[in-house]
Structure 1
Amino acid sequence: MFTVTEYSAELMKDPFGILTGKRYEFSLDLAVEEDDELFHDEGVTLRVVYVVEEDSARIAKYEFLTTSSNKYIDFELEEDEEKMVFAFCQEHFDSSKG
């Protein structure tokens, strides 16, 4: 399991107007325990694309990256982690509205 230490959220532009809803890109810096298989010395960042439509919201995509070199980490969220990340995005996406 991990905890979010810092985050940023930004409304993604849709220059062609073809996507439904609004998309927000979250960058979550994570604290990961050393004995966790996700742990990396460089740090771990989770990039999340969070979609808000009329009456619903969802995570459209996510990827783990090393914080300092931005390299892809082939890892999937466990069900409880995905619920936690979804709740985090749901709570914080307002900060990126503009």
Structure 2
Amino acid sequence: MLTITAYSVEVVKDPFGILAGQRYEFILDIEVPEDDELYTPNGLYLRVIYSVEESGSRIAKVDFHESSTDKYLDYDLEEDEIQLVDAFCKEHLPEAKAK
């Protein structure tokens, strides 16, 4: 199971009005146990694009990256991790809207 240790959030600008609703980019620093297949001594972060529309909010995209190299890692979140990240983003969404 992953643990979120730090984060930042920003509004994704859509100057042409192509996207429905609003998009937010969350950068989530995470820790995973050493016995987890995701573990790397270089650290990990998630880049999450979070979509908010009239019909509701959801994770639109998640990318894993190695912290020290910024290298993209081809992994997917498990269902319980998706729920954890979604709940975290919902909880911290007002901070992005206040910027």
| TM-based fold match above 0.5 | yes
Which residue matches 2:34? Answer: 34
Shift of 1:55: 3.5
CA distance in 2 between partners of 1:31 and 1:18 (Å): 35
**Per-residue deviation, residues 17-65 of structure 1 (Å, max 9, x unmatched):** 1110000000000011111100011100000000001140011101000
Q: Partner letter of residue 83 of structure 2? A: K
Which residue matches 2:21? Answer: 21
CA distance in 2 between partners of 1:31 and 1:6 (Å): 10
Structure 1 residue runs of 5 or longer lacking an equivalent are none
Q: SS where residue 20 of structure 2 aligns?
A: coil
Identity of aligned residues (%): 56
Q: SS where residue 46 of structure 1 aligns?
A: strand
The alignment's TM-score, normalised by the length of structure 2, stands at 0.96
CA distance in 1 between partners of 2:96 and 2:73 (Å): 26
Q: SS where residue 39 of structure 1 aligns?
A: coil
Q: Partner letter of residue 30 of structure 2? A: L
The alignment's TM-score, normalised by the length of structure 1, stands at 0.97
Structure 2 residue runs of 5 or longer lacking an equivalent are none
Q: Partner letter of residue 13 of structure 1? A: K
Q: SS where residue 68 of structure 1 aligns?
A: coil
